Amino acid sequence: MMLSRRRFLRNVGICMALPAMESFWSNRLVGATPAAAMGAGAGERMVATTATGAPLRTAFLYFPNGAIPAAWWPTGADKDFQLNRTLAPLANVKEKIQLVGGLSDLSANSGPDGGGDHARANGTFLTGVRIAKSGGSDYRAGVSADQIMAQQIGLLTPFRSLELSCDSIQNAGTCDTGYSCIYQHNLSWSSPTVPLTPEVDPRLLFERLFGAGPRNERQKNLLIRQQQQRSILDFILEDSRALQAKISGRDRSKLDEYFTSVRDIEVRIAQAEKSRANRPQPEVETPGGIPASTTEYMRLMFDMLHLAFQTDSTRVATFLMGSEGSDRTYPELSIADGHHFLTHHNNRADFVEKVTQIDVWYATQLAYFLEKMEATRDIDGNSLLHNSQIVYGSGNADGNRHTHTNLPVIVAGGGGGTLRAGRYIKYNDEPVTNLYLSMMDRIGGKPVERFGDSTGRLANL
Amino acid sequence: MSGASPVGAPDSGVVQFHQTVEPILKANCYDCHGDGAHKAGLAFDELTTKDDLLHNPQLWWKVLRNTRSHIMPPPDGPVPSAAEQLALEQWIKTAAFGMVPNQFDPGRTTVRRLNRTEYRNTIRDLIGVDFDTEHALAADDIGYGFDNIGDVLTLSPMRMEKLIEAAQTVVKKGVPSEPTAPTDQMAFGRQFLTEDGTKNGDPMTFYKDRTVAHTYPIAIAGEYRIVMATSVDGTGNPDPMRCKGTVLCDGKEFYSQEYSWADCMYFQNERVLRLEPGQHKFEFQLEPIDRTLKQPGKMDLKLVWMQVVGPLDPKAWPAAPNYARFFPRDRAPADPAARRKYARELLTKFATKAYRRPVDAATVDRLLKIAEGIYTTPGTTFETGISRAMVAILASPRFIFRFEEAMPAARGQSFVQVDEYSLASRLSYFLWSSMPDDELMRLAGTGRLRKNLAAQVQRMLADSKSAAFVESFTGQWLLSRDILHVAINRRIVLEREGIKPPAPTRRNFGGPPPPPTELTLEQRDALKREAEAYFSHVARDNRDILELIDSNYVFLNQTLVSYYGLPADTATGPEMRQVTLAADDPRGGGVITMGSVLAVTSNPTRTSPVKRGKWVLENILGAPAPPPPPDIPSLEETEKKISDRKPTQREVLAKHREDALCASCHARMDPLGLALENFNALGLYRTQELDQPVDATGSLMTGESFKNVRELKQILASQHRQEIYRTITEKLLIYSLGRGLEYYDVPTVDKIVERLEHGGGRFSELLMGVIESVAFQQRRVASEPAAAPAKPVSVVTSN
């Protein structure tokens, strides 16, 4: 069990005793669900389920500002490749990842829209469509890949999807030229105009998943909360219907956002009531709020994501490790300059070195997560990592020049045995959306023909 | 909204263009935008169709903005005369925009969700609870530089869930569930002090005696429950030491426990005591058990908290806190019919406040149903039922969003006044970031708000709640609130000036912390408040808003005096005080040289004249610089070209401007930014950078030259007054309307600028100009076709 006990304890503020974790294991939810049971009409095919009947999890992890290409790409090819400096921290899970070269996000190119590559890279990475250049009045992106998946399989789990971010602060002065900040702070979009605000606080995320309060009262609290929510749903839906008759235009679409959100809650409560008996409660203390150290913060968020996957609370998640264009400094690396500032290095050696160190740092956090996923047994005896497909990437390739071809992308996990990990594959300039289509195929359900700017599936994944 | 003339008729706008405007463009613009040249894709002589001239307001809006802010035409060439500029503007406003003079378009507003600040303030005023939205709710997205823009205030399922939870939390915290309640007093171990007041109860070592005490006042005689929480915090290594913890009330022992080693163990115990009215001293005594043992490592006992709850006899309970706020009677009537009537009264009142307009009977019926469903169930209370209905009210879209209603529109009318309740909300969320108070609601209810507008605005500005306006608007307009989080490395910044702060020493237990390389929270907060205090002064004392740019005073407190290295008696205490500057003060007043502004427009280790210049252009002069084109040499690249020494920022930029591609924009930004080189990345005044004297001289694109930043400020405030008025007007309009500005807002902005010109730039002219504007007072009649609900378009599925 890899849950960092000391870290949780520190975050609780008061020191408390923790019982053994074993009971966590005796209590696992069986994940196999026939597609027919959810009305997908796909016969006996299982959606988001591996061949052995375990849940298949999908995650998209985004890191900002690209990576120094010379230090990122490995030497060698296919199964015979050597990790370069940036990805050296992944040595322990080398056989569980695929380095995917030659993918591009052309929607992030400037085209007629001029500056704003960071807003575009962030806004297009999972949507694959050009985003409207707007300070706000008519912003528009597209449904993101994770949400296409969530729409198909969201009902299998208590949470349709989870959105995480380690960028908790929105500064008015930090958004990219001519684009609303909405593009840089959201990775997931449930409709072209509804971004899914990510959760930045590990404690709130935990309480949302498992309930608030002391460990032995969480289950009860979660239940009370849901009952109380249900008691007011009828009223607020009726209140919105009364409003609907009076309004038009953009106001109506705002009210639609409200409707959709309330219905989502309704469905979730119904789901929770069905699966209440099986719902596992992790035997861990609720974490504290946002740690001061970025490393601690990111690992704690990864702990939460791991916990969510382990307890089958969701099967789809996105994690914005840093907003594109992030100018975060890294005191833990003794780097006092901002990340974004440094990426415009124009081959100045000391800047390139610092950016590489930051790239290595991000890869180290990824390694922490992947190793933890690998060390956790799933219900079918395989590791959680084996039963996952996890994309780690950035919408910027070379932050110095704002290029969006040959993006740094890793596909981690075995996809439940459908991904041939432990390889370095090079494609000949294919849209990154082709990768998402290939991942959607592995989830099953209704086949998606095209997505964003996709041109097909990735062969040889 | 464009006023096209009948088909076939010669269009006067086109005729006018050829007569008046074309010659002006020909004389001043064709070098780059005509006669075969089409820089930036624009050639005026290729705009030949009626559509080009009369139905392309976006293009002409750009022409208007660029010529007004002197971005175009560039210097060293012909410049239109004032009369020509006026003629061009007239034609654009009437013909290209198709707007009738003196008719103003209120524009398209989108219903606004309460943002985090507004939610917090509204809950404070409605329930009397301070709810920490910064922590509980996700950050709001920002558009047009502000976080209150209706279009981008989205509502995801997660946020909705959090809002429902917030409703439950604040009602539970603020609305009593019974008429009476036991008192509940809680004190943390840190509040339990030793007799000399130097040490406390969290933590205490096992190895030393310690007695800590705290006093609880008791008003009603009776039995009280005392709950004590303690914990043992050892290390991984077992320790043989044990200790005894004894708890006394007024010198009498009532509980004791023996503690032994644990890595981590938490205890909670309770006892019941009878207490008489008066002060009661509770003591916690720690005694080591085996005094011969020497301390091998760290093992602490912590008194985490102690709670005193009572009296326990319900008959003796006093009125619950906050009870009268929601329940005017001591108790709900027992008779069911009277009870229902009372419930209806309460819910009508509360829903009216929360929805910020009268609530219909059908809604109250449904609320009543929720309340009765609870309080008619045995084992519950009347108050719990009302509370549940209140939660529903707070989760309703009518609370979460600010829906507006309009006065009835006459046939053919395009714009109509918003009703007085909507106006009350527009005013209160503008000036208070909160709900309308009773007085505004009363005036709106009797249709007298518009008649008393000026007096109400006065009253609202004088109310302490207007601090929310000052804080939100100033912090976002100037970016000064970003100082709370921006990364700055003090050590590296100072080293550039040859100042070596003492080397960080290793932190010792109990010793002083190492000198921070970062700014302290106190400094950051003071820097943020400096900008707010200054703006607040201009607003409340109704000063000329040009004082925001140039003045002979600043606002400082003790923290800032020491931060800026000024004589200690310049200002004392935590409050911001106005300080008049000496005539030769190199810094001068105004927002441009405030520490917060200078720091947030710097890089973490050094100044950025480019960012600073860009900031002045965008936020003061309203002439934003375009983003750098891709693949241009960066400043760092340029820096490398000077290899014999480390170049100053001025030298680097001079080199950079040698590239014609860079020069076009940098010639506008750099002089503004370089004028601020006397201030380092912390915003501190300096005369040297890298052992060379700072040169802050320069000249603007428009020709004026200056020797230092004070002269620059004077030039801006005198020669660029109009641009400054216009920029501040635009920022305030965006903030007050919750939307970005469009071409049709130009007449509205112009009218307010004119008003400022005639009114000596007084803040009240600006504020009333905004509030009395058509954009603030009216809305479009909902004739525009309802937008189709957003459908995912990026996916194609097949079966």
Place of tokens 């601020």: B676
Q: How confident is the model at residue B39 (pLDDT cuts 50, 70, 90)?
A: confident
Tell me if B161 and A208 make a contact (CB, 8 A cut-off).
Answer: yes
Range of lowest pLDDT (B188-197, B373-382, B426-435, B636-645): B636-645
Tell me if B795 and A338 make a contact (CB, 8 A cut-off).
Answer: no
Average pLDDT, chain A: 85
B487 reaches A (C-beta below 8 A)? yes
User: Is B791's pLDDT higher than 50?
Assistant: no
Q: Which residue has the higher pLDDT, A395 or B37?
A: A395
Segment B681-729, tens digit of pLDDT: 999 999 988 888 999 999 988 889 999 999 999 999 999 999 999 999 9
User: Is A431's pLDDT higher than 70?
Assistant: yes
Tell me if A194 and B154 make a contact (CB, 8 A cut-off).
Answer: yes
Instruction: Classify B708 as helix, strand or coil.
Output: coil
Given A14, A336, A346, which is nearest B605 (Cβ)? Answer: A336
Question: What is the reported pLDDT for B753?
Answer: 97
Average pLDDT, chain B: 90
**Are B54 and B96 spatial neighbours (Cβ–Cβ below 8 Å)?**
yes
User: Is A267's pLDDT higher than 90?
Assistant: no
Range of lowest pLDDT (A392-406, B178-192, B776-790): B776-790
**Are A166 and A294 spatial neighbours (Cβ–Cβ below 8 Å)?**
yes
A392: β partners: A61, A410
Give the separation between CA B735 and CA B733, rounded to whole angstroms: 5
**For residue B323, which phi and psi values (nearest 5 degrees)?**
-60, -45
Question: What is the reported pLDDT for B639?
Answer: 73
Question: What is the reported pLDDT for A174?
Answer: 58
Q: How far does A401 lie from chain B, in Å, by closest CA?
A: 6
With b for 16 or more beta-carbon neighbours within 10 A and e for fewer, the A28-66 pattern comes to: beebebebeebebebeeebbbbbebebbbbbbbbbbbbb
**Are A456 and A427 spatial neighbours (Cβ–Cβ below 8 Å)?**
no
Q: Which of B777, B783, B767 is nearest to B419 (CA)?
A: B777
Tell me if A336 and B142 make a contact (CB, 8 A cut-off).
Answer: no
Tell me if B154 and A257 make a contact (CB, 8 A cut-off).
Answer: yes
Conformation bin of residue B728: beta by default, left when phi > 0, alpha when psi is -120 to 50:
alpha
Tell me if A196 and B156 make a contact (CB, 8 A cut-off).
Answer: yes
Give the separation between CA B398 and CA B405, rounded to whole angstroms: 12
Give the separation between CA B543 and CA B446, rounded to whole angstroms: 34
Percent of chain B whose pLDDT exceeds 70:
93
B155 reaches A (C-beta below 8 A)? yes
User: Is B292's pLDDT higher than 50?
Assistant: yes
Give the separation between CA A194 and CA A87, rounded to whole angstroms: 34
Segment B534-543, tens digit of pLDDT: 999 999 999 9
List all residues of chain A from 19 to 58 with a beta carbon under 8 Å from chain B: 41
Segment A87-121, tens digit of pLDDT: 999 999 999 999 999 999 999 998 888 888 899 99
Please name the residues in contact with B349: beta carbons below 8 A apart, sequence gap of 6 or more: none
B640 reaches A (C-beta below 8 A)? yes
A277 reaches B (C-beta below 8 A)? no
Tell me if B790 and A232 make a contact (CB, 8 A cut-off).
Answer: no
Using a CB-CB distance cutoff of 8 angstroms, which residues of chain A are in contact with residue B617? none
Q: How far does B494 lie from chain A, in Å, by closest CA?
A: 13
Q: Which residue has the higher pLDDT, A387 or A291?
A: A387
Segment B755-780, tens digit of pLDDT: 999 999 999 999 999 999 999 999 99
Please name the residues in contact with B769: beta carbons below 8 A apart, sequence gap of 6 or more: B729, B751, B752, B755, B756
Question: What is the reported pLDDT for A453?
Answer: 95
Q: How confident is the model at residue A275 (pLDDT cuts 50, 70, 90)?
A: low
List all residues of chain B from 278 to 317 with a beta carbon under 8 Å from chain A: 302, 304
Tell me if B138 and A199 make a contact (CB, 8 A cut-off).
Answer: yes
Question: What is the reported pLDDT for A284?
Answer: 81
A452 reaches B (C-beta below 8 A)? yes
User: By CA distance, what is A241's nearest residue in B?
Assistant: B397
Q: Which residue has the higher pLDDT, B637 or A87?
A: A87
Q: How far does B615 lie from chain A, in Å, by closest CA?
A: 9
User: Is A49's pLDDT higher than 50?
Assistant: yes
A66 reaches B (C-beta below 8 A)? no
Q: How confident is the model at residue B613 (pLDDT cuts 50, 70, 90)?
A: very high
Using a CB-CB distance cutoff of 8 angstroms, which residues of chain A are in contact with residue B631? 401
> How many of the other CB atoms lie within 10 Å of CB of B344?
16
Question: What is the reported pLDDT for A114?
Answer: 81
Q: How far does B106 lie from chain A, in Å, by closest CA?
A: 15
Given B405, B627, B797, which is nearest A447 (Cβ)? Answer: B797
User: Is A6's pLDDT higher than 60?
Assistant: no
Q: Which of B200, B191, B109, B98 is nearest to B150 (CA)?
A: B109
Please name the residues in contact with A185: beta carbons below 8 A apart, sequence gap of 6 or more: A122, A165, A167, A170, A195, A197, A198, A320, A323, B139, B141
Question: What is the reported pLDDT for A277?
Answer: 53
Q: How far does B154 lie from chain A, in Å, by closest CA?
A: 7
Q: Which residue has the higher pLDDT, B414 or B119?
A: B119
User: Is A15's pLDDT higher than 50?
Assistant: no
Question: What is the reported pLDDT for B796?
Answer: 52
Segment B558-590, tens digit of pLDDT: 999 999 999 999 999 999 999 999 988 888 999
Pairs of residues, one from chain A and one from chain B, whose beta carbons lie less than 8 Å apart = 310
Tell me if A170 and B158 make a contact (CB, 8 A cut-off).
Answer: no
A213 reaches B (C-beta below 8 A)? no
Give the separation between CA A291 and CA A289, rounded to whole angstroms: 6
Give the separation between CA B241 and CA B296, rounded to whole angstroms: 10
Give the separation between CA B797 and CA B330, rounded to whole angstroms: 63
**Are B793 and A442 spatial neighbours (Cβ–Cβ below 8 Å)?**
no
Q: How confident is the model at residue A226 (pLDDT cuts 50, 70, 90)?
A: confident
Given B160, B168, B265, which is nearest A228 (Cβ)? Answer: B168
Range of lowest pLDDT (A250-254, B197-201, B607-611): A250-254
Question: What is the rounded average pLDDT of the residues B163-187?
Answer: 93
Question: What is the reported pLDDT for B703?
Answer: 86
B650 reaches A (C-beta below 8 A)? no
B485 reaches A (C-beta below 8 A)? yes
**Are A395 and A124 spatial neighbours (Cβ–Cβ below 8 Å)?**
yes
Is the Cα dihedral B578, B579, B580, B585 positive or negative?
Answer: negative
Segment B731-751, tens digit of pLDDT: 999 999 999 999 999 999 999
Tell me if B266 and A351 make a contact (CB, 8 A cut-off).
Answer: no
A253 reaches B (C-beta below 8 A)? yes
Q: Which of B684, B707, B705, B680 is nearest to B695 (CA)?
A: B707
- Record the pTM: 0.84
B642: β partners: none
Give the separation between CA B65 and CA B86, rounded to whole angstroms: 13
Q: How confident is the model at residue B4 (pLDDT cuts 50, 70, 90)?
A: very low
Q: How confident is the model at residue B9 (pLDDT cuts 50, 70, 90)?
A: low
Tell me if B392 and A261 make a contact (CB, 8 A cut-off).
Answer: no
Question: What is the rounded average pLDDT of the residues B282-308?
Answer: 90
Range of lowest pLDDT (A267-276, A282-291, B476-485, B761-770): A267-276
**Are B131 and B121 spatial neighbours (Cβ–Cβ below 8 Å)?**
no
Question: What is the rounded average pLDDT of the residues B186-194?
Answer: 95
Question: What is the reported pLDDT for A34?
Answer: 38
Question: What is the rounded average pLDDT of the residues B308-317?
Answer: 94
Percent of chain A whose pLDDT exceeds 90:
56
Q: How confident is the model at residue A32 (pLDDT cuts 50, 70, 90)?
A: very low
Range of lowest pLDDT (A26-35, A84-93, A205-214, A307-316): A26-35
**Are A96 and A115 spatial neighbours (Cβ–Cβ below 8 Å)?**
no
Q: How far does A25 lie from chain B, in Å, by closest CA?
A: 24
Using a CB-CB distance cutoff of 8 angstroms, which residues of chain A are in contact with residue B600? 171, 173
